[in-house]
Amino acid sequence: MSAPAPRPPRFRGDDAVADGRLDADRDVRWHLAEEVPAALTFNQETSVVMMVTPADLEDFAVGFAVSEGMVPSAADITKIDVLASANGYVIDIRANRLTERAGRQRVIAGRTGCGLCGVDTLEDAVRPANPVTRRFRLDPDAAARALAALPDHQPLNRLNHSVHAAAWCAPAGDILRAREDVGRHNALDKLLGSLLRDGLDPANGFVALSSRCSFELVQKAAAAGVPYLASVSAPTTLALSVARDAGMGLACLSPDGIVTFGAD
């Protein structure tokens, strides 16, 4: 995981640890999750402002640009500048080519749990997911292994117990890398961006999520070519429908073990 970006004056992390009370009679020092606004600009034109955990912001920029269809591919991104300002961060993404979607001046704040920030039509809300290619079959044991190991790859969550994680896993279930963020969509974008920046093909593994599987996460993963998503809770009906259309397999935990959907 890359080092956090320099803090803006208003977000120095001073409030990351707070005094609290436990059981009404014990003082505690509690680590809090950080969230700060980050304005993503494409070729210096503001598109959206998201609330993020201030780490791995270059990964986030690439992942967001690809998963939201702002650039045709990660290869079109030529430079990323992360600048601290008084009110948060400005992340400028320079690209040789932008899509029509990037040209829309949304300038709408994305809340921490938001996966539909700035959409202005129903067609934008539920976009057709990119078709994915499966190069292996996801074994339920591999999904179970990855989800069981996920907490060991969440250093931030061990401190504050309130951030999500997305991990890229080998077909056998070994976690190869992970990213965290206060927003589950951001965690996935950071993970996808880190893979694409390093020239790794997301189709060679699967993604494990600490969150539920919603359709926006399916759309984002499909945009990068991820063939399977494994999550700690069941997918929504729309997530399953979008995954089936994309040819993506899903897996989730249940009291009786791993349940798979279209993973054969």
Residue 50 is part of a domain; what is its CATH number? 3.10.20.10
Does pLDDT of 3 surpass 80?
no
User: Do 155 and 121 have their domain in common?
Assistant: no
Report, as an integer, the average pLDDT of 179-203. 97
Domain boundary among 83, 102, 125: 125
**Has residue 16 been placed in a domain?**
no
**Has residue 48 been placed in a domain?**
yes
User: Do 46 and 78 have their domain in common?
Assistant: yes
**Has residue 17 been placed in a domain?**
no
Q: Per mean pLDDT, which range of 60-69, 107-116, 220-229 is the poorest? A: 107-116
Query: How many structural domains are present in the chain?
Result: 2
**pTM of structure:** 0.88
pLDDT given for residue 100 in this prediction: 82
pLDDT given for residue 28 in this prediction: 67
More confident residue, 237 or 112: 237
User: Do 104 and 152 have their domain in common?
Assistant: no
- 230-239's contacts with Cβ under 8 Å and 24+ in sequence apart are 230/138, 230/143, 230/146, 230/147, 230/169, 230/206, 230/258, 231/147, 232/147, 234/259, 235/261, 236/212, 238/126, 238/214, 239/213, 239/214, 239/215
Torsion of CA 259, 173, 132, 96, to 10 degrees: 140
DSSP 8-state assignment for residue 55: S
Does pLDDT of 92 surpass 70?
yes
Does pLDDT of 173 surpass 80?
yes
Most confident of the ranges 7-11, 43-47, 174-178: 174-178
Report, as an integer, the average pLDDT of 143-167. 94
User: Do 114 and 203 have their domain in common?
Assistant: no
Averaged pLDDT of the chain = 87
Does pLDDT of 90 surpass 90?
yes
Q: Determine the structural domain holding residue 99 and report its residue range.
A: 36-125
Does pLDDT of 185 surpass 50?
yes
Report, as an integer, the average pLDDT of 176-195. 97
Confidence of residue 261 (pLDDT cuts 50, 70, 90): very high
Report, as an integer, the average pLDDT of 248-257. 94
Catalytic residue IDs: 114
User: Do 251 and 196 have their domain in common?
Assistant: yes
* Cα separation, 83 vs 214, whole angstroms: 31
Domain boundary among 125, 157, 184: 125
pLDDT given for residue 122 in this prediction: 43
pLDDT given for residue 15 in this prediction: 58
**Has residue 216 been placed in a domain?**
yes
User: Do 112 and 153 have their domain in common?
Assistant: no
Lay out the sheet containing 45-52: strands in order across: 77-85, 88-95, 36-42, 45-52, 108-110
pLDDT given for residue 123 in this prediction: 52
pLDDT given for residue 169 in this prediction: 98
User: Do 241 and 172 have their domain in common?
Assistant: yes
User: Do 114 and 162 have their domain in common?
Assistant: no
Does pLDDT of 16 surpass 80?
no
pLDDT tens by residue, 99-120? 887 766 454 444 445 544 444 5
User: Do 144 and 114 have their domain in common?
Assistant: no
pLDDT tens by residue, 36-54? 999 999 998 878 899 999 9
User: Do 121 and 144 have their domain in common?
Assistant: no
